[in-house]
Amino acid sequence: MLKTIDDALTLNELTGKIMDNIIKFDTVGQYNAFTNNETLHPLISVVNLSKSGKRLNVRQNIGLYMVFLKEIKCGDLKYGCNYYDYEEGTLVFVGPGQVVGVENNGEYYEPKGTALVFHPDLIKGTALGRHIHDYTFFSYEVHEALHLSESERKIILDCLSKIRFELEHAIDKHSKTLIVTNIELFLNYCVRFYDRQFITREVPHKGILHRFEDLLTEYFQTDKPQSLGLPSVTYCAEQLNLSANYFGDLIKKETGKSAQEYIQLKLMDVAKEKIFDKDKSVSEIAYELGFKYPQHFSRLFKQRVGYTPNEYRALN
């Protein structure tokens, strides 16, 4: 059952009302009421999670942008259908429309940490609003969260402190600009720290490029192209147990190419090999590679190689 809470409900009323259900947060005020924090601005809050007190498991459907800086472990964080055994000093990002919750065998837990919570309307009409989707970590899975060093954690806390200062300051004509600018600074630091994590952190995706290459090789050596079509970025990410966005960012960082470009390069390598078999027509090769329409294959081949398949065959 999905319920949206009223800003005025007390914590005890909330806990009794939403037990075993999914609770939906549409406003910053609703989340502040849930965590016992004061609402200083209707569209943004820097939340002290320690004020929440002890509580039972609650799954949350979020209509807001949220970034959680977890200070202690308080259960197994569930995000969609996946679990993440998070550590101290971890940033977890949640975008509007996502579901997140803590599961801890029915025991009470006491949250500790800080959360930045803001409504999408806050950034409408701003530069940040126009490119918020460039911050792809809002659609990463939780097991791809950002793990901070101590120095990085201090920078994050400093950014949150600046935002909190603006919220506690009387609202004037500069408030929105300064708040949104500091959110953007915060997110840009997160981009830098994720780049570092891609390179340095020992995680299960170590050697991802090699595994990606093996996956594509195996794919084109079977009848999967005929039955499943061309391999998509989403398919490859799922096979490697990563979200599509995180996988794409990893490949971009490693190769300088997008995951889609990398797939197409592999596809062209396989296509060139097949074109040497003069017993097969270009149409047959296209279908073998997973194309529904041979003309789409010919067009892509010309774009990537510089020749049509028949021209390439004649040259070789």
Residues 131 and 225 in one domain: no
Q: What is the CATH number of the domain that holds 66?
A: 2.60.120
Residue 313 has pLDDT above 60, yes or no: yes
Q: Which two tokens stand for residue 312?
A: 């390439």
- Strand stretches in 81-192, DSSP E: 82-84, 90-94, 98-103, 113-118, 146-147
Cα–Cα nearest to 288, from 235, 222, 242, 241: 222
- What pTM does this model have? 0.76
What is the percentage of the chain residues whose pLDDT exceeds 90?
63
Does residue 203 sit within a domain? no
Check residue 259 and give its pLDDT: 96
Is the same domain home to 33 and 138? yes
Q: How confident is the model at residue 104 (pLDDT cuts 50, 70, 90)?
A: low
Find the domain containing 90 and state its range.
2-146
**What is the model's pLDDT at position 128?**
97
| Last-in-domain residue among 131, 146, 161 | 146
| Residue 204 pLDDT grade (very low, low, confident, very high; cuts 50, 70, 90) | low
Sign of the CA dihedral running 102, 104, 107, 113: negative
Query: Does the structure show a pLDDT above 50 at 226?
Result: yes
86-115 as b/e, with b when 16 or more CB fall inside 10 Å?
A: beebbbbbbbeebbbbbeeeeeebebbbbb
Categorize the per-residue pLDDT at 23 as very low, low, confident or very high, splitting at 50, 70 and 90: confident
> How far apart, in whole angstroms, are the C-alpha atoms of residue 236 and residue 231?
7
Kindly state whether residue 174 falls inside one of the protein's structural domains: no
Residues in Cβ contact with 14 at an 8 Å cutoff, skipping those fewer than 6 apart: 5, 23, 33, 34
What mean pLDDT comes out for the span 105-114?
70
